[in-house]
């Protein structure tokens, strides 16, 4: 079953160490700071991805497949092993879906 955008963001936030405040408002960031603002949008924001996700991965490759995949972006993500590769319409979405695949594989193998 395919995850919807909010579920994808939730999986990534938990993987990074974000914790939702039990009172129902705000987030604890991985460094322990608290914020009442919305959690970063890992699915659509390359800035949020660069700040929070890129430092946690070993290697990422982004490239556009204009001839083969109707202009879709390909992302390959490596966390040592396993690795994931996906094709999506934007580089941010391609990166997130590849990373989610790797996280799923990591959990099933670990």
The residue ranges of every structural domain in the chain are 5-109
Distance of CA 18 to the CA centre of its chain: 13
Enumerate the β-bridge partners of residue 83. 78
Look up the pTM and report it.
0.74
Neighbouring CB atoms inside 10 A of 38's CB total: 9
**Can you give the pLDDT of all 110 residues of the chain as single tens digits?**
578 888 898 899 999 999 987 776 788 888 888 888 878 899 888 899 888 988 888 777 776 766 555 667 777 777 765 677 777 888 888 888 888 888 888 777 76
Q: Are 16 and 52 contacting, i.e. CB atoms less than 8 angstroms apart?
A: yes
Q: Are 76 and 98 contacting, i.e. CB atoms less than 8 angstroms apart?
A: yes
**The CATH number, out of the four listed (3.90.550.10, 3.30.2120.10, 3.40.225.10, 3.40.190.80), of the domain defined by the range 5-109:** 3.30.2120.10
Q: Are 42 and 9 contacting, i.e. CB atoms less than 8 angstroms apart?
A: yes
């Amino acid at each position: 079953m395919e995850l919807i955008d909010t579920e994808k963001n939730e999986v990534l936030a938990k993987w990074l160490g974000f914790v939702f405040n039990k009172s129902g408002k705000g987030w604890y960031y991985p460094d322990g700071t608290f914020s009442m603002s919305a959690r970063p949008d890992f699915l659509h924001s390359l800035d949020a991805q660069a700040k929070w996700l890129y430092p946690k991965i070993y290697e990422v490759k982004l490239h556009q497949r204009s001839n083969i995949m109707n202009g879709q972006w390909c992302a390959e993500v490596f966390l040592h092993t396993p690795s994931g590769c996906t094709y999506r319409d934007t580089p941010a979405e391609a990166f997130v879906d590849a990373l989610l695949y790797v996280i799923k594989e990591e959990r099933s193998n670990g």
